[in-house]
C-alpha cells in the first residue's frame, strides 16, 4: 500500500523516476509496475542495490524487514535511503542501527509523513514561532481512526512483526512530539489494551496481539508534558487527528481529516477540510483557518499530500541541495519511545527515558 503511494507521488516529480523495483509478491509487483511503467522488476534486493542506474533507495517493506535491509545496504553499497517508519522493531536493532549510522556515508531519511501534512507543517511553524501560544507547555495528540487494514501476509496483526501498535502507528506521533516540543521526553507512562479489534481473527500465528487503544503520558524537560490518545475503533469521526498545543499566551489546535477515500461522501457530502484553530487568551476567542490541500496530492495517497512534499525534500537531499530533515537517529528515537510505551502498557511501569535500556540519545 505505502510503496504504491510512494510510486504515485514520485510520478508527480519530473526530476525523479522509479527505475527498478524489488517486490517478492507477484500481484503487488504487477500493481507497482502498473504505477511505474518505466521501471523494471529485479529478483533480489542485492540486484536492486547493485543497479548502476539507481541513485537512491526507498524502503517500503514490512516493519520487521527494515533493520536487516538497512544493514544489508550498508554492507554492500552506500546510497541515499528513504526508509519507511518504523526504522526497526526492537531495542537490539536500535543499537545495531545506531552503530551503522556512524559509518554510513550517504544520507538516510526516516519517512515521517505526518510532519509534511500541510496543516501539521503550519502547526509546527506556528508553535516554533511561539506567537500564538508562547513556549509550548502542554501538547495532546488524539488519533481516532479505523482499525488496521489488511496487509500482504497479514504481517501487521502481530507485535513481533510491527514492534507493537505504539511503535507501528504511534512512532509518527512521538516524532511529532519531539519536533513540536523541541526536546526529548524524559519519562512516560502508558495504559493500553486490545478491547475490540481483530479478537475474532485467527492466523497460523494465532489471534492478533496488537493494542487497539491506548493513552500515553510523557514528561518533557522544564515541567512540560504531552498526551497521546489512540483509538482504532472510531472511524466515524469527522477528523482523524486532533492536535492541541497550549502555552501561556493561548492555544492552537490542528484538525486533520483521515484518508479521503474512506469519507462517506455519498451520505455526508464533501470530506472535511483541515483546520487550524487559534485561541488566544487575550483577546479571548477562537479563530479558524481552513488549510486547503491540492486535490491532486490528496488523490495520490492517504496522507493529506504529505508523501509528495516529503519526496520533494528527499529529492533535494539526493541532489546534494539540502540536508536530511528526519534522520535515522530521529526515526530510532521514535521507535525507542514507542517500545517504552508498549513496555509500560504491558507492565504498568513508569519508564525513564534518560538512562538505562530506554535512554534516548
Ligand X SMILES: NC(=O)c1ccc[n+]([C@@H]2O[C@H](COP(=O)([O-])OP(=O)(O)OC[C@H]3O[C@@H](n4cnc5c(N)ncnc54)[C@H](O)[C@@H]3O)[C@@H](O)[C@H]2O)c1
Pick the piece of the chain touching ligand X (CB under 6 A) from 23-31, 98-106, 258-266, 313-321: 23-31
State the chain's maximal CA–CA distance in angstroms. 63
Give the binding range for ligand X (CB under 6 A) out of 18-26, 219-227, 315-323, 338-346.
Answer: 18-26
Residue 10 grid coordinates:
514520485
Q: What's the grid cell of residue 250?
A: 493561548
Neighbour-count burial for 32-66, b at 16+ CB within 10 Å, e otherwise: bbebbeebeebeebeebbebeebebbbbbbbbbbb
Q: Among 113, 175, 184, 242, which residue sits at the site for ligand X (rule: CB under 6 A)?
A: 113
Smallest distance from ligand X to CB 114, Å:
7
Total binding residues toward ligand X, as defined by CB under 6 A: 21
Q: Using CB under 6 A, which of 9, 21, 22, 247 touches ligand X?
A: 22
Q: What distance in Å separates the CA atoms of residue 114 and residue 303, rounded to the nearest whole number?
A: 7
Q: Does 61 bind ligand X (CB under 6 A)?
A: yes
Cβ nearer to ligand X, comparing 169 with 224: 169
Q: Which stretch binds ligand X (CB under 6 A): 11-19, 21-29, 251-259, 273-281?
A: 21-29
Instruction: Tell me: does residue 303 bind ligand X (CB under 6 A).
Output: yes
Q: How far apart are CA 100 and CA 103, in angstroms?
A: 6
**CA–CA dist 147, 206 (Å, integer):** 18
For ligand X, the binding residue among 65, 67, 81, 255 (CB under 6 A) is 65
Binding mask 92-111 for ligand X (x = CB under 6 A): -------------------x
**Residue 303 CB, nearest approach to ligand X (Å):** 5
Burial class (CB in 10 A: 0-12, 13-18, 19+), 302: middle
Segment 128-157, which members bind ligand X (CB under 6 A)? 151-152
Q: Look up residue 124 and give its three cell numbers.
A: 509546527
Closest to 179 measured CA to CA, from 106, 110, 277:
110
Find the part of the chain contacting ligand X (CB under 6 A) among 58-66, 213-221, 315-323, 347-355: 58-66
Instruction: Output the CA torsion 339→340→341→343 (10° steps).
Output: 90
Q: Which is nearer to ligand X, 126 or 304 (CB)?
A: 304
By CB under 6 A, the residues from 24 to 53 that bind ligand X are 24-25, 28
Q: Which stretch binds ligand X (CB under 6 A): 17-25, 127-135, 219-227, 256-264?
A: 17-25
23 part of the interface to ligand X, by CB under 6 A? yes
Q: Given the complex with ligand X, which of 86 and 250 has the nearer CB atom? A: 86
Answer whether the bond into residue 283 is a cis peptide, omega within 30°: yes
Q: Give 328's contacts (C-beta < 8 A, 6+ positions apart).
A: 70, 83, 87, 97, 101, 104, 108, 110
CA distance to 10, 251, 277, 338, 347, per residue, from 342 (Å)? 34, 30, 32, 6, 9
Query: Smallest distance, Å, CB 23 to ligand X?
Result: 5
- Say whether residue 3 binds ligand X (CB under 6 A): yes
Residues making contact with ligand X (CB under 6 A): 1-3, 22-25, 28, 60-63, 65, 84-85, 111, 113, 151-152, 168, 303
Amino acid at each position: 500500500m505505502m510503496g504504491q503511494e510512494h510510486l504515485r507521488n514520485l510520478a508527480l516529480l519530473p526530476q525523479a523516476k522509479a527505475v527498478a523495483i524489488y517486490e517478492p509478491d507477484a500481484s503487488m509487483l504487477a500493481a507497482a509496475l502498473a504505477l511505474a511503467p518505466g521501471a523494471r522488476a529485479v529478483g533480489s534486493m542485492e540486484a536492486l542495490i547493485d543497479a548502476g542506474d539507481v541513485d537512491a533507495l526507498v524502503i517500503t517493506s514490512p516493519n520487521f524487514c527494515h533493520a536487516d535491509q538497512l544493514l544489508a545496504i550498508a554492507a554492500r553499497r552506500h546510497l541515499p535511503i528513504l526508509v519507511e517508519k518504523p526504522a526497526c522493531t526492537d531495542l537490539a536493532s536500535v543499537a545495531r542501527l545506531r552503530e551503522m549510522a556512524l559509518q554510513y556515508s550517504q544520507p538516510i531519511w526516516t519517512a515521517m509523513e505526518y510532519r509534511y501534512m500541510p496543516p501539521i507543517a503550519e502547526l509546527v511553524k506556528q508553535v516554533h514561532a511561539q506567537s500564538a501560544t508562547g513556549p509550548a507547555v502542554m501538547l495532546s495528540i488524539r488519533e481516532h481512526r479505523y482499525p488496521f487494514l489488511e496487509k500482504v501476509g497479514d504481517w501487521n496483526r502481530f507485535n513481533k512483526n510491527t514492534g507493537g501498535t505504539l511503535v507501528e502507528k504511534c512512532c509518527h506521533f512521538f516524532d511529532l512530539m519531539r519536533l513540536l516540543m523541541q526536546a526529548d521526553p524524559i519519562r512516560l507512562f502508558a495504559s493500553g489494551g486490545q478491547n475490540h479489534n481483530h479478537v475474532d481473527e485467527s492466523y497460523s500465528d494465532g489471534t492478533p496481539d496488537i493494542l487497539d487503544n491506548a493513552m500515553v503520558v510523557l514528561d518533557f524537560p522544564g515541567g512540560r508534558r504531552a498526551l497521546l490518545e489512540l483509538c482504532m475503533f472510531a472511524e466515524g469521526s469527522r477528523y482523524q487527528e486532533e492536535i492541541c498545543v497550549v502555552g501561556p499566551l493561548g492555544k492552537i489546535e490542528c484538525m486533520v481529516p483521515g484518508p479521503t477515500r474512506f469519507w462517506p461522501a455519498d451520505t455526508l457530502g464533501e470530506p472535511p477540510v483541515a483546520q487550524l484553530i487559534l485561541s488566544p487568551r487575550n483577546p479571548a476567542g477562537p479563530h479558524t483557518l481552513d488549510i486547503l490541500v491540492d486535490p491532486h496530492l490528496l488523490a495520490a495517497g492517504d496522507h493529506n499530500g504529505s508523501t509528495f512534499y516529503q519526496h520533494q525534500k528527499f529529492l533535494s537531499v539526493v541532489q546534494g541541495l539540502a540536508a536530511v530533515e528526519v534522520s535515522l537517529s530521529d526515526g530510532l528515537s521514535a521507535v525507542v519511545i514507542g517500545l517504552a510505551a508498549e513496555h509500560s502498557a504491558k507492565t504498568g511501569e513508569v519508564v525513564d527515558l534518560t538512562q538505562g535500556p530506554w535512554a534516548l540519545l
